[in-house]
Structure 1
Amino acid sequence: MSSISNTSSAASTAAANAALQSAAQSIISGSTGNTSMDVGTLVTALVNAKTAGQAAALTAQQTTDNTTLSAYGALSSALSALQASVANLANGTTLSTFAATASGTGLTATAGAGAVAGTYSVAVTQVASSQALSSAAFGATTQLGTGTLTVSLGGQSMNINVDSTNNTLSGIAAAINSGTGNPGVTATIVTGTDGAHLVLRAANSGAANVINVSTSNITSDTGLSSLGVTSTASTTGGQSSITSANSSSAWSQSGFAQDAEFTVGGIAASSASNSVTSAISGVTLNLATASAGTTQTLTISQDTSAESTAINNFVSLYNTVVTTMSTLTSYNSSSSSQGPLLGDSTLMTIQNSLANIVGGAVGSGTTGTTLAAIGITLKDDPADGTMVVDSTKLSTALTSSPATVAALFNPTNGIAEQLNTSITNFTQTGGLIDTRNTALNTDLKSITTQQSALADYTAQLTSQYQAQFTALDTLMATMNNNSQYLTALFGGANSAGALASANNN
């Protein structure tokens, strides 16, 4: 508050005056022979008398500038929070939000950009899955021979060199997992009652992602050649099939490579993934196993809950800006204290600009629409400046008059876009607040320079006065000693003196 700075300056001046009076009394006492002068106190008092007023004024201005900078910081934070809250209202994203609801289990959906309201019948025949193959059983430590295994998946492949250091099932599994250029095949060892099995799994689902293993350059073969397997992708929407290189050591499928097969409104579709983005524009279908064999109704509707939350959040943060500005411009007559930005032209410009936007209409003439049309009005007290939301009226507008809401928050000249543009002008580099802060920081640098110069002057003056009054104190002490000697010798008002006493004798 500015009154605090003024009080501090006045107190500093009063203290300096009191010290000066005390120093003057020290000179009088020293000159009359009562005591010697208090040089330190005298010098401090005289220096303070010359510098205290300026020092206090600089400190007071420094405090005012820093307080004002903090005030603009608080205002900028409130404005930035408001701008963040209106971003998606300004660009139309929030008012294009849709919710997706399925009537059964195993099918969920999310609606994004490009979605439109509608109802769809979704029948799922099968969900997408990835292939998993299990080899025949071997001894866990059996050495299977040496050679080369070529492992491929969906048209990509890698070669695994099998030698005496890795020709057990576990060694081969480790080589596959760490192989350079692995196309997306993971290998594990599963041990059952019949022995150890090499299990290969495809990372990606879909009919085309089948695993093939071929062998070559085999020597000392004790089972390595039987690890060859050929997988065939289904071309009719069914499951993958396999052919083992050695029928006596056959591979088996524990998981099938297949696409998701479904219809939307009777239109057949498929997907290698259970996250389907290509079937309905702007909608992602998520298929789980439970959806297979079901026909469900998928409803895409406007997400009025998300829109209501966004609009209420906008009102709340606008009110925060208003109350912040109110605090910064407050005045308390009982204590004569005031907010740091009371009467500040920059804040008044921002305040009026925001009020005009939220109180104005979007559109012109009879087509203009205000926030009041969707249940957002100013409080009854016009001096308050904050807004209130009629939840029932807003809900009705979102449900029954979405065009009105869309017009108010259109991305061209809607309420949110106007606020977004104005706040950018206020807070950007070179904007109103930045210009004011730059001036304040320049003033603070000037104050620091002045304080440094004043400190140098204070030190110089102290040194000068110290020398002068020390010399004066010495002179007065000598004069007092001489005066006392002459009085003792010649007498004074109350004594005859040593010479007079001698003559009388």
Structure 2
Amino acid sequence: MSTVSSSSSTSSILQQAAQSILSGVTNSQLDVNSLVSALVTGASAAQSQTIATAMTSDQTQLSALGTMQSSMSSLLSSLTGLDDGSIFTNLAATMSGSGITATTTTGAAAGSYSVNVTQIATANQISSKAYAANATLGTGNLNISVGTTSMTVALTSANNTLSGIASAINSASNNPGVTAAVVTGTDGQHLVLTSTQTGAANAVTVSADPTVDAGMATANFTQVTAGQDAKLTVSGTPIDSASNNVTTALSGVTLSLTSAAVGTTQSLSVATNSSSIVSAVQNFTTAYNSWISTVQSLSSYDSTTNTSGPLLGDAMLNSAVNGIASIMASGIQVGGTTYSLAQLGVNLNDDGTLTFTSSTLQSTLAATPAMAQNVFNGTNGIGEQLSSFISSYTDSVTGQIAQRDSTLQTDLTAQQTAETNLSAYQATLTSQYQAEFTQLNTIMSQTQNNTNYLNQLFGGNGAAGTMNKSS
């Protein structure tokens, strides 16, 4: 169709050119610019259309491949923990009461434990005697310590007030872990020092040179809150902790204590993290359904408008679709028994999408957790198979999509080069035609002048002619 159209267009242009030449012979001047433009367009239109069509096709496919890559990558990401079965080794810790939050880390082991808390860790706080507002406290060195770490504040006439001391302590780069504040009461101002760390070992102490006010010594401060360790037992074993985040009592478990836990005995349960498994399977189902939606869009066909998706009939897309569908439909053989996604509440619909019933998976995890682990085992589980298959498409170097993309980019570059070369050819042809037709215009103009002269001389077009008159 395009060849016939191009030939027809070229023929039309040549007819216009011929008519322009004939008009020139019969007293008209050629419109050189329009004529040259028409001839150049006619000479290059077919090639120009071919290049434009190829570039549009390449760009459309590149965009479609990007969409395919994104969808498959999202599906691959949703398999994290399901591809190697590691999500089934994740344990969650729960407490039976309030005041204690239990979390698990690497190394936790399933089990049940009793936890009794008798006191929580607190931070030491001390307050100085009362001073008059803006009272000066002498000059010299003031030493502040928290546990075994200390700092020295040099008191001068510029900072030897309570507010000056507090500011110097709080801004010191070598602050050992203490905050300072000035509290104004009915009896005057007090310097209040608080350890930023809990525990009996993190007591705040103060000492000063003899030239500094004697009130700046620990003995003259009042203890507001004693620094103390948290005390608890885990299954009867006594534990002291300087922090309320107890990490050493039970391997892989952190117990975070608050005052509400004091005087209580609670049960700690460490078991398979069912909620994270359910969430992972739900995320996988969502990503899979998104993949199906993407496939339907890329390979669609509208019979009403006769329009199709950019990858309709594409062999690579079809291969990916069939491969993933085959893995999803196949059962998993473990120890001579076949397991399927349906046993975990994941069912395949007629339109290719998945429906997930979380209650079915929760029941399975509670009754036979090994079943879920077998479906998503790290050797031949559905997650492992899908991960390996999808990676063969999405890998940024060796993946089929990357290789296809590279081929298209190479072709697109070649088409761009061809477009540049065609533009150069058009420019050269334009210059050539302009020179030729400008010369033709000149010749025709001269011919017309000669004709007019001869008519005047010998007669013609109804005129007698100069020489005829003289005779």
State the TM-score, normalizing by the size of structure 1: 0.83
Alignment of 1:27-426 (within 5 A): 27-31=21-25, 33=26, 35-216=28-209, 218-219=210-211, 224-229=213-218, 244=219, 250-363=220-333, 366-380=336-350, 384-426=351-393
Q: Deviations over 1:191-223 (max 9, x none)?
A: 21122212111110012111222334x13x6xx
Counterpart secondary structure, 2:223: strand
Aligned match of 1:237: none
Q: Deviations over 1:133-192 (max 9, x none)?
A: 112222233333334332221211223333444333333333333345221122211121
Alignment of 1:443-482 (within 5 A): 443-482=411-450
Two-structure CA RMSD over aligned residues (Å)? 3.0
Stretches of structure 2 that go unaligned for 5 or more consecutive residues are: none
Could you tell me how far 1:15 is from its partner in structure 2? 4.9
Q: Deviations over 1:253-277 (max 9, x none)?
A: 2111111111222222221111122
Aligned 8 A contact 1:133 1:251 in 2: yes
Separation (CA, whole Å) in 2 of partners of 1:465 and 1:476: 16
Identity fraction in percent: 44
Aligned 8 A contact 1:23 1:41 in 2: no
Distance change in 2, residues 1:12/1:255 (3 Å): farther
Distance change in 2, residues 1:167/1:481 (3 Å): closer
Could you tell me how far 1:400 is from its partner in structure 2? 2.2
Amino acid in structure 1 at the alignment position of 2:176: P
Q: Larger deviation: 446-455 or 278-287?
A: 278-287
Distance change in 2, residues 1:369/1:195 (3 Å): same
Separation (CA, whole Å) in 1 of partners of 2:214 and 2:83: 65
Distance change in 2, residues 1:21/1:328 (3 Å): farther
Q: Deviations over 1:112-153 (max 9, x none)?
A: 444344433222111111000112222233333334332221
Aligned 8 A contact 1:99 1:110 in 2: yes
Amino acid in structure 1 at the alignment position of 2:71: A
Counterpart secondary structure, 2:197: coil
Amino acid in structure 1 at the alignment position of 2:375: L
Could you tell me how far 1:360 is from its partner in structure 2? 2.9
Could you tell me how far 1:283 is from its partner in structure 2? 2.4
Could you tell me how far 1:306 is from its partner in structure 2? 2.8
Could you tell me how far 1:359 is from its partner in structure 2? 2.7
Separation (CA, whole Å) in 2 of partners of 1:92 and 1:395: 17
Could you tell me how far 1:485 is from its partner in structure 2? 5.8
Amino acid in structure 2 at the alignment position of 1:24: A
Distance change in 2, residues 1:461/1:179 (3 Å): closer
Q: Larger deviation: 63-72 or 361-370?
A: 361-370
Q: Deviations over 1:77-124 (max 9, x none)?
A: 112222222223334453344444333332222234443444332221
Counterpart secondary structure, 1:498: coil
Could you tell me how far 1:411 is from its partner in structure 2? 3.3
Aligned 8 A contact 2:458 2:468 in 1: no
Counterpart secondary structure, 1:187: strand
Amino acid in structure 1 at the alignment position of 2:17: A
Aligned 8 A contact 2:349 2:355 in 1: yes
Q: Larger deviation: 411-420 or 191-200?
A: 411-420
Aligned 8 A contact 2:139 2:156 in 1: yes
Q: Deviations over 1:359-414 (max 9, x none)?
A: 3333357334232332323222xxx4333324443333233232111122223443
Aligned 8 A contact 2:98 2:260 in 1: yes
Separation (CA, whole Å) in 1 of partners of 2:8 and 2:224: 95
Q: Larger deviation: 65-74 or 178-187?
A: 178-187
Could you tell me how far 1:486 is from its partner in structure 2? 5.2
Could you tell me how far 1:14 is from its partner in structure 2? 5.6
Could you tell me how far 1:454 is from its partner in structure 2? 0.8
Counterpart secondary structure, 2:65: helix
Separation (CA, whole Å) in 2 of partners of 1:270 and 1:399: 36
Separation (CA, whole Å) in 1 of partners of 2:111 and 2:49: 73
Q: Deviations over 1:414-470 (max 9, x none)?
A: 322333333333222232111111111111211111111111110111111112122
Distance change in 2, residues 1:470/1:112 (3 Å): same
Q: Larger deviation: 304-313 or 160-169?
A: 160-169
Aligned 8 A contact 1:329 1:342 in 2: yes
Aligned 8 A contact 1:184 1:203 in 2: yes
Separation (CA, whole Å) in 2 of partners of 1:119 and 1:167: 57
Stretches of structure 1 that go unaligned for 5 or more consecutive residues are: 1-5, 230-243, 245-249
Separation (CA, whole Å) in 1 of partners of 2:276 and 2:126: 46
Aligned 8 A contact 2:27 2:448 in 1: no
Aligned 8 A contact 2:124 2:204 in 1: yes
Distance change in 2, residues 1:409/1:14 (3 Å): farther
Distance change in 2, residues 1:254/1:46 (3 Å): same
Distance change in 2, residues 1:201/1:460 (3 Å): same
Separation (CA, whole Å) in 1 of partners of 2:143 and 2:462: 135
Separation (CA, whole Å) in 1 of partners of 2:4 and 2:381: 52
Amino acid in structure 1 at the alignment position of 2:88: L
State the TM-score, normalizing by the size of structure 2: 0.89
Aligned 8 A contact 2:132 2:188 in 1: yes
Separation (CA, whole Å) in 2 of partners of 1:15 and 1:397: 72
Matched, 1:432 2:421: no
Counterpart secondary structure, 2:123: coil
Separation (CA, whole Å) in 2 of partners of 1:368 and 1:17: 72
Aligned 8 A contact 2:455 2:463 in 1: yes
Separation (CA, whole Å) in 2 of partners of 1:114 and 1:92: 17
Distance change in 2, residues 1:401/1:480 (3 Å): farther
Separation (CA, whole Å) in 1 of partners of 2:214 and 2:5: 100
Aligned 8 A contact 2:459 2:468 in 1: no
Aligned 8 A contact 1:120 1:264 in 2: yes
Aligned match of 1:498: 464
